[in-house]
Amino acid sequence: MTNNICLIPARAGSKRIKNKNIKTFLGKTFLRRVIETAKKSKIFDKIYVSTDSIIIKNLAEKYGAEVPYLRSQKLSNDHAILKSVIDDFFKKMMLMKKKENLNIFMIYPTSIFVNKKLIEKCKKILKNTEYVTTVKKFPHPIQRALKYHKNKLKPINLKHKLMRTQDLEEHYYNTGQIDCFKSKAWIKKKMFHKMFSKFIILNEFESVDIDTPNDLKMAYKLFKIKKN
């Protein structure tokens, strides 16, 4: 039987929204909402939070997650990359040496739009692949993007500027909501960009990647709409 593990990476530092991961959102902190969703899904054998903060550790444990260690400051600054955080988790939990293949569901601490239905869908797809993520389509062709230079805007590609938008290839981006992968696949490859074999396309109303105050305002509006 394959074990399903939820991993929530929640460092303390955040510049654009102070203490973002434990910010109160409609009566509950982001972290609490994500942990409660993970618990209610009844899918996970363990729910872990990776953090450098004793405050976040105490809150996570209060909400029902486990925090078996505190992450180093080196892996918690603005320059730390997610790959290193995952490698650290595998090392600390001694997953590198385990023979069984675990399903790791990494849900981000502000991913309040992730629900049981989406987690179950990821689990189902993960049975036949190594990695599952969620993506969205760019609302406008990226080939028609403009770049800012010397107080002016200019097309990044003049050829595409003259093409009809419907003739341009569609592009997608990772929503930063949930990434699911098999532990053996991570040990072998260790990089997400090599494992985009399966994905779930979300529509514009199914998630908000909360990084800025404007993102937060949008999340408030969308969350209230979905709740009602």
Question: What DSSP element (H or E) covers 91?
Answer: helix 82-92
Residue 113 CB partners (closer than 8 Å, separation 6+): 177, 206, 207, 208, 219, 222, 223, 226
pLDDT of residue 49: 98
Confidence band (pLDDT; 50, 70, 90) for 194? low
Q: Cα separation of 113 and 223, whole Å?
A: 8
Where exactly are the structural domains of the chain? 4-134+172-227
Question: For 30-47, what is each residue's pLDDT tens digit?
Answer: 999 999 999 999 999 999
Average pLDDT over residues 124-135: 93
Nearest Cα neighbor of 134 from 184, 187, 80, 206 is: 206
Please state which CATH number belongs to domain 4-134+172-227: 3.90.550.10
pLDDT of residue 13: 78
Average pLDDT over residues 79-99: 85
Encoding tokens for residue 215? 């993102």
Higher pLDDT, 111 or 18: 111
> From residue 60, how far is each of 29, 32, 55, 156, 175 by CA, in Å?
10, 7, 9, 45, 24
Q: Cα separation of 103 and 106, whole Å?
A: 10
DSSP, collapsed to helix, strand or coil, labels residue 173 as: strand
**pTM across the whole model:** 0.91
